Amino acid sequence: MVRSYCFCLLLLSTIVAVTVAIAAEELPPAPTTFKTLNGKLDLAPLNRNAPLVIAKGGFSGIFPDSSEYAFAFASSLHTSLWCDVQLTKDGVGICLRDLLMQNCTDITEIYPEGMKAYLINGAQKTGWLPVDYNMASLRNVTCIMVPKNYIWPVTSDNYIQLHIQIVQEAHNAGLEIYASDFSNDGIFPYNYSYDPLGEYLSFVSDGGFSVDGVLTDFPLTASEAIDCFSNLNTSRKTDHGNPLIISHNGGSGDYPGCTDLAYENAVRDGADVIDCSIQMTKDGIPICMSSIDLLATTDVQQSKFCSLLSVIPEIQSKKGIFTFNLTWDDINILRPKISSPLSDYVMLRNPRYTNHGKFLKLSEFLTYAKDKELSGIMITIENAAFMAASLGFDVVDLVTTALSHAGYNNPTTTNEVMIQSRHSAVLVKLKQQKTQYKLVYTLPLNIDDASDSSVAEINKFADAVIVDRKSVFVESSGFIVRKTNLVKELQSAGRLAVYAQVFRNEFVSSPWDFFSDETVEINNYVLLVHIDGIITDFPKTVRRYKMNSCTGLGDGKPRSMKAVEIGGLVQTLQDKVRRPARAPALVLKPSDVVEPPLPAAAAAAVPKTTGYSSPRSDCSSSCCCCNCN
């Protein structure tokens, strides 16, 4: 990937002896038995049957290949460092300890006639060279390393198929088998949702077998998978403890946001809270959709509604086709579009499901969420002032009415309801109505400190606050430059719960300090700032993090699960390389928080309906009320 390439150039020859900081550790207790050959034959004590992590060129995914720092870092992760990749006749890379296969395999027995003379680097050598054999013909040869796609074959559109039985066959024949080609910044089959940890798990535990070792550019993630995430029982119930897992437009990392598929995915993947961003249709129905602009969420541009393009400066400066310009029935004709926030890096999401799923009315969302095993729901209200003044919709009122209609007005029997807004006026209005719902205020972007008086102001109307990730760990050019005190201030002075957003699996979305591994990022928000909740496109990653088997180990945790040294990477850049510029600190002031009250809803320009009993235009006249309760 371009980014890692640039990064290597940047760090090349600038890494100094930071190695002192990396103390050797004893092996962590292996929590599980692995179905490796040693595990199967019961050849080794329990903590020795785990697959081996072979670091390719040290930690070459992040540090320059074979640099001192790379090796030192990798060796602190209990990896096996030594491997040379040789090419077979058909171009498959295999890991061998010697160019001559007779030195490290039983090839002399399998192909006794295969010996040849070769001129290697000017020297005459005799033996067996991989370049003379196809991968298939080496399948019977022992200490073999196969590319990972050999075990889980990948389709031409980059989805994995059912694994082939090669690992079990090798083990039955008493042979070890290693898999190669792992990295955190490579191309992932879409099944792994850009999550490298999930990929390792399918090779060491979740597939019902375990390879005997993996060859990787990112040994930290492989060690993490083996030490703390193998054989987890993901159907275990959760107590909805911290950090709370809050979906971002449902499980929008895998399916188009705010569709039935995205919500089902979030629930299946263990979200504690599912979310709905309210938008209004022309016929007055509150719906869940991540954007008020249908261009961002649907194929409206290719539809007959494409002529409805307009600029509405109160909402955005660019042209859009807005939800309130189409009726609910019109919107239902459109096909949802999967979000790809990192498409600049050509990281697209789940193409087979790009246009799948169905959007939900708020009332449908509320019904759906009611019997699910969640701790709550979060409803987001934006643009309330515009909708009142220009469209005649009192969104706050529509939301509270829909909630009580769906039976959410009894907090003892239903999931907790959170109402979120960037606009304090929305929350102040609800507070004045003595709402029983939890009010969540979203801070502006680029804030990294808050004055006491602004926290006091927030305290008047909010129970919880959402901060941008970059307000917690300030970044510059992809490196963390420091940790702010914002979360601590809000938690202690304000006694507010603090949630951070938006967490994503794609490695380019997080700073280098977290080793291109989303689990490392989550772990640091938990260990270093005690974040109360994580808002994510990929609930599964957070849920799995919460279940890891190393949590209780305290200081005995493997290195991969300890906090990183914040700002440590930037310090390794020497003067030769320009240090990333430090962004100036922005302090939240009361004037950033206080807003004028919401305007009263103007006389409705369109007939107002409550949403849950609106007539359907496709109803026959005799049955125009078929949607009424």
Ligand X SMILES: *[C@@H]1O[C@H](CO)[C@@H](O)[C@H](O)[C@H]1NC(C)=O
Q: Is 325 in the site for ligand X (CB under 6 A)?
A: yes
Instruction: Give Cα 587 distance to the centre of its chain.
Output: 29
Which is it for the CA torsion 561, 565, 570, 576, positive or negative? Answer: negative
Which pairing describes strands 473-476 and 464-468: parallel, antiparallel, or unpaired? unpaired
Instruction: Please report whether residue 237 would count as binding ligand X according to CB under 6 A.
Output: yes
- DSSP, collapsed to helix, strand or coil, labels residue 492 as helix
CB of 105 to ligand X, least distance (A): 11
Cα diameter, the chain: 93
Tokens of 44: 């080794």
Q: According to CB under 6 A, which one of 19, 340, 390, 551 is a site residue for ligand X? A: 390
Is 328 or 437 the residue whose CB approaches ligand X more closely?
328
Distance (Å, whole) CA 30 – CA 513: 26
Between 183 and 265, whose beta carbon lies closer to ligand X? 265
Q: How far apart are CA 452 and CA 392, in angstroms?
A: 37
DSSP code of 158? S
Cβ nearer to ligand X, comparing 390 with 491? 390
Nearer to ligand X, 159 or 345 (CB): 159
Residue 304 binds ligand X, judged by CB under 6 A: no
Residue 127 binding ligand X, by CB under 6 A: yes
Taking alpha carbons only, the member of 239, 252, 253, 273 closest to residue 420 is 273
User: Based on CB atoms, which residue is closest to ligand X, 322 or 514?
Assistant: 322
CA distances from 219 to 60, 149, 166, 182, 347 (A): 9, 19, 24, 9, 23
Select the residue interacting with ligand X from 137, 238, 367, 609 (CB under 6 A): 137
Q: Are 421 and 593 in contact (CB under 8 A)?
A: no
Instruction: Tell me if 409 contacts ligand X by CB under 6 A.
Output: no
- For ligand X, the closer of residues 390 and 572 by Cβ is 390
Q: Which of residues 155-214 bind ligand X (CB under 6 A)?
A: 159-162, 191
Contacts (Cβ under 8 Å, ≥6 apart) of 418: 273, 376, 377, 378, 379, 437, 438, 439, 440, 464
Least distance between ligand X and beta carbon 108 (Å)? 9
* Closest to ligand X by CB, 285 or 462: 285
User: Toward ligand X, which CB reaches closer, 208 or 444?
Assistant: 208
DSSP string, 66-110: T-HHHHHHHHTTT-B---EEEE-TTS-EEEESSSSGGGTSSHHHH
Q: Is 386 in the site for ligand X (CB under 6 A)?
A: no
Could you tell me the CA-to-CA distances from 21 to 16, 69, 481, 568 in Å, in that order?
11, 11, 19, 10
- If the CB atoms of residues 34 and 512 are measured against ligand X, the closer one turns out to be 34
In the three-class reduction of DSSP (H, G, I as helix; E, B as strand; rest coil), residue 618 is classed as coil
DSSP state, 405?
H
Does 51 engage in binding with ligand X (CB under 6 A)? Answer: no
| Residue in 121, 156, 233, 621 binding ligand X, rule: CB under 6 A | 233
Q: Sketch the per residue contact string, 147 through 166, with ligand X: x for CB under 6 A, - otherwise.
A: ------------xxxx----
- What letter would DSSP give residue 51? P
Cβ atoms within 10 Å, residue 473: 26
Query: Is residue 236 part of the contact set for ligand X (CB under 6 A)?
Result: yes
Nearer to ligand X, 64 or 256 (CB): 256
> Nearest approach, Cβ of 375 to ligand X (angstroms)?
17
Name residue 288's beta-bridge partners.
278
Q: Which residues contact 350 (CB under 8 A, 6 or more apart)?
A: 190, 193, 254, 255, 338
Neighbours of 15 (CB within 10 A): 20
Structure-token match 């054999």, residue found: 133
φ/ψ of residue 398, rounded to 5? -60, -40
Residue 231 sits in the site that holds ligand X (CB under 6 A)? no
Q: How far apart are the first and last CA of the chain?
A: 55
Binding to ligand X by residue 401, rule CB under 6 A? no
**Of 20 and 123, which has the nearer Cβ to ligand X?**
123
Residue 162 vs 628, nearer CB to ligand X: 162
308 belongs to the binding site for ligand X (CB under 6 A): yes
318 touches ligand X (CB under 6 A): no
- As measured in angstroms, the least distance from the Cβ of 5 to ligand X is 29
576: contact with ligand X by CB under 6 A = no
Among 268, 319, 352, 530, binds ligand X (CB under 6 A): 352
Stretch that binds ligand X, among 13-21, 217-225, 322-330, 473-481 (CB under 6 A): 322-330
Number of residues lying near ligand X (CB under 6 A) = 24
Q: Which of 236, 238, 235, 504 is nearest to 374 (CA)?
A: 238
Residue 310 within binding range of ligand X, rule CB under 6 A:
yes
Q: Minimum CB separation from ligand X for residue 126, in Å?
A: 6
Instruction: Report if residue 255 touches ligand X, rule: CB under 6 A.
Output: no
Q: Give me the residues paired with residue 589 across strands.
A: none
Binding mask of the shown chain, residues 86 to 105, with x at each position contacting ligand X by CB under 6 A: ------------x-x-xx--
- Residues at the interface with ligand X (CB under 6 A): 98, 100, 102-103, 127, 137, 140, 159-162, 191, 233, 235-237, 308, 310, 322, 324-325, 352, 390-391
